[in-house]
Structure 1
Amino acid sequence: GPTGFMNRIWDSEANAQEGTVTFYRTSPDGEEGYPGNLTVKATYAWTDDNVLTLRLQAETDAPTVINLTNHAYWNLEGHNAGSILDHELQLECSRYLPTDDTLIPTGEFAPVAGTPMDFTTPKKIGRDIKTDFPALNYGKGYDNCWVADGPIRKGELKTVAILSSQPSGRILEVSTTQPAAQVYTGNWLAGSPANKAGRPYDDYDGVAIECQNMPDAPNHADFPSAVLRPGEKYDETIKFSFKTK
């Protein structure tokens, strides 16, 4: 909603011994139109092997809809290095979700083969981004959801994305328990607030890889359910593993 979780002040608790920080809040019944008192925890853990783990947990006292993710932008050359269009991206996804011109999924599962949406082998993000193709025209770049290959097994981590940058040799591997990942190439970053270097970011200065359930799932019977019921536990994990070549 207009004042979603990203615009709320969360409580937090750090645990130096475990190397974690947990953010938590309760979304009251009716907030933004959603039923149920929803308690949510987001726990970040950093380990010495350069892995950042995000665990998202929630419970509710009435059936409600939930789909949580993280919207961090990545630039493996540094936050002020400019465009990520030369970064290489590989997605373990042979299908994506086409949308209408408002970026809402139509419900179709479309193969990426033969389209600019194909990242099944490493490809520079900018190689096809200006192609005359509906998904790219609607979003002025990539802003779509890709469906992870393989069966969906609750709680099982699978790698969905590998991002790399040749100049620095840095690699980011993203794994998740969730069935899909939205990739957004910062198509509308221009005009953002000044960064710590004193300038606004420009379009395509970062890429977000947002592991999640499929958007608009309540309106598409073929998508995994996004309904959480009393007595059930929402529990999903995203891992960001940093390496070098």
Structure 2
Amino acid sequence: MKVTIDSFGTTPSGEIVERYILDNDRGITVELITFGATIMKISTPDCGGNIGDITIGFDTLEEYLTKNHHFGSIVGRYANRIEHASFKLGGTTYHLDQNNGKNHIHGGSHGFDKYVWSAHVVEGKESASVIMQHISPDGDMGFPGTLSVQVAYTLDRMDTLTIDYSAFTDAPTVLNLTNHTYFNLSGELGSDISDHVLTVHADDYIPIKENSIPTEEAPLPVEGSTMDLTMPTTIGDIIHKKEPQILYAGGLDHTYVLSKSHDNIVRLAAMLTHPVSGRSLSIATSEPGIQVYTANNLDNITTYRNNVHVPKHGAIAFEAQHFPNSPNRPDFPSTTLTPEHTYTQKTKYTFNKVITSCNVK
């Protein structure tokens, strides 16, 4: 296993941002930067052995500073939405940064994706890790308690990238962390993902209102609905349907229920395949839900890596997390963290080739 470290630039405040490149000597590389604890780039081989970039990102730190939409970053303190940007905990009402209309999303306008994290490397024969750390002060974006967060990215020789999260607080707070990497397995950024095939191993999902807040009756069974992805389904057959849940989001932007109680068991959540390239990605997580987002807000105007324009539905994100608005929904698995407990999460991305007959040259 190889780890390469270099400088990726300096922020306007003078903080040095480092880049770490993990290489498992099997054609898979993962590039990370300390700004936002971000997965900047993942490259994997197709069925013909050609190495391709399968994630969306930028070439420069300046672009991450000015054009970032959580591409590849750690999202916190609270991934997804909190209705009315407020919640009650221990008899006190906390008011958060309103950055999604009247609601709060992804930790606010200056969430974890906007900080430079500290980092160090742990190397072994079969794997290598980059461990990143950040301290969020009491009152950060309105959240109570000083929070210490650690995220370890580990690439191994079994072609798996594991993200291990841990956190502790000095006062009761709420916490919901995720990584927000956007994937396009074709290796041709700028194409859409309509030809990708998706399976989500969930019998229930969280329906949303027009403002993307969960409905009162959530969760609901996927059986008999457009949201049923329990069998392999071509993404293009879903995201253009004229039915309310798809129209509200402009595609998929929904949490699928993997467990109705947070049992912390790592289970297979989803699989994405691209039949043409033969690439496959499986996601397993200890989280009770996974948000599936088909990049409904990309505009085909912003330039990304290699000066590429990415269209709407040009990628897909799998955000392992708790359910949206959980601090205001006692019927959902709790996101409360107290000083007596440590937050932990494990999410695994495994890269495979699934096509036995390959037409790629």
Matched, 1:146 2:262: no
Provide the C-alpha distance between the structure 1 equivalents of 2:177 and 2:162, rounded to a whole number of angstroms: 14
Could you tell me which residue of structure 1 aligns to residue 119 of structure 2? 12
What CA distance in whole angstroms lies between the structure 2 residues aligned with 1:228 and 1:150? 18
Give 2:238's match in structure 1, choosing from 101, 121, 128. Answer: 128
Asked if the contact 1:92/1:149 (under 8 Å) is kept, the reply is no
Residue by residue over 1:143-166, the C-alpha shift from the partner in whole angstroms, topping out at 9 and shown as x without a partner, is 011101586422x21001011110
The corresponding residue for 1:110 is 220
Q: Contact 2:253–2:291 (CA<8 Å) still a contact in 1?
A: yes
What does 1:1-245 correspond to in 2, within 5 Å?
Answer: 1-17=108-124, 19-80=128-189, 82-107=191-216, 108-148=218-258, 152-154=262-264, 156-191=265-300, 193-245=302-354
Distance 1:204 1:146, change over 3 A: same
Which of structures 1 and 2 has the larger relative contact order (alpha carbons within 8 angstroms, sep 6+)?
1
**CA distance 1:223–1:192, change in 2 (3 Å):** farther
- State the percentage of identical aligned residues: 35
Q: Is 231-240 or 123-132 further displaced after alignment?
A: 123-132
Distance in 2 (CA, whole Å) between partners of 1:81 and 1:169 is 18
Distance 2:188 2:245 in 1: 27
Residues 1:192 and 1:52: Cα distance change in structure 2 (over 3 Å): farther
Report the residue type matching 1:31 in the other structure. D
TM-score (normalised: structure 1)? 0.95
More divergent stretch after superposition (185-194 vs 96-105): 185-194
Structure 1 outlier segments of 4+, above 4 Å: 149-152
Equivalent position SS for 1:54:
strand
**Cα gap change, 1:152/1:31 in structure 2, threshold over 3 Å: closer, same or farther?**
closer
Q: Which moved more, 1:16-25 or 1:139-148?
A: 16-25
Q: SS of 2:237's equivalent?
A: coil
SS at 1:197 equivalent: helix
Equivalent-residue separation in structure 1 for 2:336 and 2:147 (angstroms): 12
State the Cα distance separating 1:24 from its structure 2 match: 0.8
Please list every run of 5 or more consecutive structure 1 residues that lacks an aligned counterpart in the other structure.
Answer: none
Q: Which runs of 5+ in 2 are unaligned?
A: 1-107, 355-361
State the superposition RMSD in angstroms.
Answer: 1.5
Partners of 1:38 and 1:218 lie apart in 2 by 17
Please tell me whether Structure 1 or Structure 2 has the larger radius of gyration of its CA atoms: 2
Q: Deviations over 1:157-211 (max 9, x none)?
A: 1001011110111111100000000000011111564222212211111100111
CA distance in 1, matches of 2:200, 2:301: 28
Separation in 2, partners of 1:22, 1:133: 43
| Contact 1:116–1:129 (8 Å) recurs in 2 | no
Distance (Å, rounded) in 2 between the aligned partners of 1:8 and 1:147:
30
The Cα shift of 1:91 comes to 0.6
Paired residues of 1:53 and 1:238 also in contact (CA < 8 A): yes
Instruction: Output the CA distance in 2 between the equivalents of 1:16 and 1:141.
Output: 40
TM-score w.r.t. structure 2 length? 0.65
Q: 2:5 matched to which residue of 1? A: none
Whole-Å separation in 2 of the counterparts to 1:69 and 1:165: 24
